Amino acid sequence: MKNFGLFHHNQERTDRQVDAIVAECNKIIKHKKLKMKCFAV
């Protein structure tokens, strides 16, 4: 998998919260030395 899109159903989550989740996802990906990208849909 090259791209991992996150979709959330919680409409009460702010853009900042979603950005923080994506940042954490990308941090884990980098730590594991995977060649993929995480993003919010």
Q: Which residues pair with 4 in a beta bridge?
A: 38
- What is the chain's mean pLDDT, rounded? 95
pTM, entire model = 0.84
Distance in angstroms (rounded) separating the CA atoms of residues 30 and 13: 25
Residue with tokens 């996150």: 6
Q: Identity (one letter) of the amino acid at 19?
A: D
Residue 29, domain extent = 3-40
Q: Identity (one letter) of the amino acid at 11?
A: Q
How many domains does the chain fold into? 1
pLDDT in tens, 1-41: 999 999 988 889 999 999 999 999 999 999 999 999 999 99
